[in-house]
Amino acid sequence: MEISLTDYERFKAILEKQSGILLGDNKQYLVVSRLNGLLQESNLTSLSELINKIASPSGSVLLKQVVDKMTTNETLWFRDRYPFDYLKNTIIPELRRTTNRIRIWCAACSTGQEPYSITMQLEEISALIQTEIVATDLSERVLDKARQGIYQKIELNRGMPADKLRRYFQDLNETDWQVNERLRSKVRFQPLNLLSTPYGFGKFDVIFCRNVLIYFSNENKTKVINGLIDSLKPGGYLFLGASESLTRDSQTLKMVRCNPGLVYQKEG
């Protein structure tokens, strides 16, 4: 599939407006590899046709599918390790001194490894407190998988410790394991586009929003970070990805070291 520069620029603009995902120059190959299958399924022969279709009033279903295909859903269990240790060893004990109800939001949760990793940490320490865990993503496809909680051995090999595998999963067959029902019932998965501020989920004690802002322009990063800060309770914590940080124009937060990384805290 050939993509003219004009078509590529049109496509980039639509994708960014819908999702915040900003494609770099010369990423035509990515568009081709992600959309080839969808183009064939939809009986379209060129990106130009596809753009015309998704820009038309009858193209909203296809537009959603296109955006979904363009998301990068790379994730793993206990990614970077330190946010999960700091949550369990420092944040939860600190919050427990003042509340017995803790609200955590995992934004851009992909296929569920991150919110389930959070839930496993809480299970091990918080028998006496109530926790509410909300997990959101733009992609309905990844949310469906997350809700089912079924993972293949190859996915579990990416960070799931053997003792937790035994404790929290059920062996379905030779290749698949499912997160047990108790753990699945603790996470509420919901679709949400991070560009749609304000979010309207109420205030949270802890927000994870990791490895998604790297795909956004500075302007959208600032908009999302400010939306997340508005969704934090006073004294609440925000985890960004290991290579992400606040922007120059976002509201400021206190930086707290939790070696080898850091977490941001809203003034109490």
Ligand X SMILES: C[S@@+](CC[C@H](N)C(=O)[O-])C[C@H]1O[C@@H](n2cnc3c(N)ncnc32)[C@H](O)[C@@H]1O
The SS3 call for residue 205 is strand
Spatial distance between the Cα atoms of 20 and 192, rounded to a whole number of angstroms: 13
Residue 205 interacts with ligand X (CB under 6 A): yes or no: no
Assign residue 78 a region (left: φ > 0; alpha: ψ between -120 and 50; beta: otherwise).
Answer: left
Decide whether 44 or 164 has the Cβ nearer to ligand X. 164
Q: Does 114 bind ligand X (CB under 6 A)?
A: yes
Q: Is 152 helix (H, G, I), strand (E, B) or coil?
A: strand
Strand-pairing partners, residue 208, are 106, 239
Q: How near is the Cβ of 210 to ligand X at its closest, in Å?
A: 4
Quick check: 155 binds ligand X (CB under 6 A)? Answer: no
Q: How many residues bind ligand X (CB under 6 A)?
A: 25
Q: Identify which range of 35-43, 50-58, 84-92, 131-139 contacts ligand X by CB under 6 A.
A: 131-139
String marking each residue 71-100 x if it binds ligand X according to CB under 6 A: xxxxx---x---------------------
Amino acid at 93: P
Which residues are 151's β-sheet partners?
Answer: 177
222 contacts ligand X (rule: CB under 6 A) = no
Between CA 157 and CA 127 the distance in angstroms is 28
Our CB check for ligand X shows the closer of 20 and 236 to be 20
Segment lying near ligand X (by CB under 6 A), choices 23-31, 151-159, 166-174, 186-194: 186-194
Residue 195 touches ligand X, criterion: CB under 6 A: yes
**Residue 21 within binding range of ligand X, rule CB under 6 A:** yes
Can residue 138 be called a binding residue for ligand X (CB under 6 A)?
A: yes
Residue written as token pair 């939860």: 92
d(CA 49, CA 62) in angstroms, rounded, equals: 12
